[in-house]
Amino acid sequence: MMRLHHAAASPFVRKVMIVLHETGQLGEVELVAAHASPIDATNAPLKHNPLGKIPALEREEGPALYDSRVITRYLDARADGGLYPAAPALWDVLTLEATGDGIMEAALLIVYEGRFRSPEAQLAPWVDGQWAKITSALEMIEASWMGHLAGPFGAGQIAIASALGYVDFRLGARDWRSGAPQLAAWFAEISERPSFKATVPGD
């Protein structure tokens, strides 16, 4: 039995959960509740990921895996799930996945700025700069990646949808949809997939 260090708020964990759903491996993983935090590693899976971050995946045949991109790729290969195509299509999928992960990272930095700094210590240009990364990524997806998103389902769609779900969950007061209407329509539709409905973020 594999063990996944998990929290329902994490978009990085959500990608892994969606892959487990999509590849029929849910029954092979035990979920271990973790509360990773950059300033308190008490409940972080440090033994399995020295960086103290989740997700981390314990497996039988070797040391634990991290980070989320490694885990999703491992699980897909394990089940021959087809979420990562062969090269050259792979390079597009990995770039789109990196874009989704980058949106999550920027959103998480905004969240952490609000969570760990006193209001006086928070830096508005820093928060604005992270939000600018998100909007520039969304603009690029809207302009250049809609055809890919409409194509074969895979790790790129999983990462982008998990990122958008996280932005809505933690930064819901910010409007991204009016600047990316096609992406907003795609997100509404893909959110109906059972693997997405089963993994909606929560605290």
Helix (H) or strand (E) segment spanning residue 79: helix 68-79
165: contact with ligand 99T by CB under 6 A: no
In the complex, minimum distance from the CB of residue 112 to ligand 99T, in angstroms, rounded to a whole number: 8
User: Residue type for 196, please?
Assistant: F
Q: Are 21 and 198 in contact (CB under 8 A)?
A: yes
Pick 57 or 138: Cβ nearer ligand 99T: 57
Closest CB to ligand 99T among residues 113, 139: 113
Q: Least distance to ligand 99T from the beta carbon of 153, Å?
A: 20
According to the binding rule CB under 6 A, does residue 152 interact with ligand 99T? no
183 binds ligand 99T (CB under 6 A): no
67 binds ligand 99T (CB under 6 A): yes
Work out whether 9 is an interface residue with ligand 99T (CB under 6 A): yes
Q: How far apart are CA 70 and CA 56, in angstroms?
A: 10
DSSP letters spanning 81-142? --SSPPTTHHHHHHHHHHHHHHHHHHHHHHHHHHHHS-GGG--HHHHHHHHHHHHHHHHHHH
8-state DSSP, 55:
-
Which one among 8, 21, 28, 37 touches ligand 99T, defined by CB under 6 A? 37
**Residue of the chain from 17, 36, 96, 155 that contacts ligand 99T (CB under 6 A):** 36
In this structure, are residues 81 and 22 in contact, taking their beta carbons and an 8 Å threshold? yes
User: Which spans of this chain sit near ligand 99T (rule: CB under 6 A)?
Assistant: 9-10, 12, 36-38, 52-55, 66-69, 101, 108, 111, 170
